[in-house]
Amino acid sequence: MTTKYTLPPEWAPQRAVQLTWPHPASDWAPRLAAVLPVFARIAREISFREEVLMACHDTTSVKVCKKYLQHAGANLARCHLHTVPSNDSWTRDHGPLILQNPVGQHKLMDFAFNAWGLKFRADLDNQITRHLYAQGAYGNAALEISGMVLEGGSIEVDGAGTLLTTSACLLSPNRNPQWSAAQIEDALRTQLGVERILWLHSGHLEGDDTDAHIDTLARFCNPHTIAYQSCDDPDDRHFAPLQQMAAELSAFRNRNGEHYHLIPLPWAQAQFDEEDNRLPLTYANFLILNAAVLLPTYDDPADHIAQERLQCIFPDREVIPIPCSELARQHGSLHCVTMQLPR
């Protein structure tokens, strides 16, 4: 039997979801009191269905986290808090990608994280996986440290050998400037066990720091279905690029040569922060759990439409809305602050 390691899709059975708790020395400081309940709410819903692995900046953060989790009604027996220094809380991008093989073995891929192309500090975040590994947080899985700069939010896999990504992110000059697109494809195939790479060349969100992460734009829901962020307002600056992205998606084929079933997600009305910066609101940033899907919502009429559409895609999972406008104020959303760990 082959022992090739592959990256499982998000809907595969999970053991846990990893998060990094915000703290006063991070960029969350000005609105910390508003955002901590959001993290606690996310952890609560996860804890009802699987384990929560929480990286806390210091012993004070551990105490604060426990208090918020208890107040939120989380299953504390399933919440495992570790003391690990951090710069920020975008676990999707600094967390590990865990591969598995047909005989049940797991391997942690710890890719380099440089804060989306050297935009911010990331010296502590880039060490989180190794610190958690040393503390035994990942069990018996092997650890492989890669020199490639790669964020979890920049890739989507379908579990059938296909990886979806964006050229704006993976080909950006401040990530792996020494590599061509062909070399990046070779690295993805070798290190993640995928066979096909699908590149999106259009689509972005204003206020997004990631250079168009795929998890803000288009998501595999099963090997035949992609949900994507649409825009139906021709007066919005996002209209043309997202229309072009939809056209690119419609041209893609799965490994059987068939068109994907494409599900457009609705467009939320523009929201802005105190400095009049537009917030990157996206419904594509949902998190698939065991028996549930957590949907970011933004106090917008489109919230209910997004919930209905995702419920149709995931009839066997409960779609749970989580208010995430506070996360958007720091330029991300729900999927961005989480990383699932396979069972």
- Cα–Cα distance between 341 and 338 in angstroms, integer? 10
The residues that bridge with 334 in the sheet, in sequence order, are: none
**At 158, which amino acid appears?**
D
Q: What are the CB-based long-range contacts (under 8 Å, 24+) for 100-104?
A: 100/5, 100/6, 100/8, 100/342, 101/2, 101/3, 101/4, 101/5, 101/6, 102/1, 102/2, 102/3, 102/4, 103/1, 103/3
Total count of residues recorded for the chain: 343
| Catalytic residue list contains 65 | no
> Exposed e or buried b for every residue in 236-245, given b needs 16+ CB within 10 A?
eebeebbeeb
| H-helix or E-strand spanning residue 293 | strand 292-297
Roughly what angle, to the nearest 10 degrees, separates helices 32-47 and 59-72?
60
Residue of 79, 169, 324, 336 with catalytic role: 336
DSSP, collapsed to helix, strand or coil, labels residue 204 as coil
Residue with tokens 């068939």: 258
- The answer to whether 88 and 125 are in contact (CB under 8 A) is yes
Contact predicate 47/75, CB 8 Å: yes
The residues that are catalytic are: 336
